[in-house]
């Protein structure tokens, strides 16, 4: 079974993480959980931003409005899925005494948010001239 599939199974059976390695200092597990919750707050903000773009910019061209909204909504979905996957991977690594997993996701998420922000700035500037 692949590592990814195993991680997904652990999303829904987190007690099985205890089968691996030893119990880390509870402060590290709680810090891992706080990080998970921070990722979820970020996901909720992105999803809320996507709905806000769609609902509060009705004068914006349909393609722009939907494109920006979908980019934010997709980023929110990916962020929420990444949150639980990262939580499981970190918990397993701590129990095994391994280095915490590295990820490119924060950089990818930052680029997506920056691109959407630049597009929104351009939309605001173009609308201001019209």
DSSP string, the chain: --HHHHHHHHHS-GGGGGGSS-PPPHHHHHHHHHHHHHHHHHHHHHHHHHHHHHHH-TTS-HHHHHHHHHHHHHHHHHHHHHHHHHHHHHHHHHHHTPPPPP-SHHHHHHHHHHHHHHHHHHHHHHHHH-
Q: Structure pTM?
A: 0.86
pLDDT by residue, tens only, the chain of 130 residues? 688 888 889 889 888 988 889 999 999 999 999 999 999 999 999 999 999 999 988 888 899 899 999 999 999 999 999 999 999 999 999 999 999 999 999 999 999 999 999 998 988 888 766 5
């Amino acid at each position: 079974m692949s590592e990814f599939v195993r991680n997904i199974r652990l999303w829904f059976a987190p007690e099985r993480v205890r089968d691996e390695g030893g119990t880390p200092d509870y402060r590290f597990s709680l810090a891992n959980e706080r990080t998970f919750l921070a990722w979820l707050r970020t996901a909720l903000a992105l999803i809320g931003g996507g709905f806000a773009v769609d609902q509060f910019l009705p004068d914006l061209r349909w393609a722009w409005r939907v494109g920006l909204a979908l980019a934010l909504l997709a980023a929110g979905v990916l962020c929420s899925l990444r949150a639980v996957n990262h939580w499981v991977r970190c918990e397993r690594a701590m129990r095994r005494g391994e280095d915490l997993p590295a990820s490119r996701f924060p950089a990818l998420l930052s680029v997506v948010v920056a691109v959407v922000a630049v597009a929104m700035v351009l939309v605001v500037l173009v609308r201001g001239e019209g």
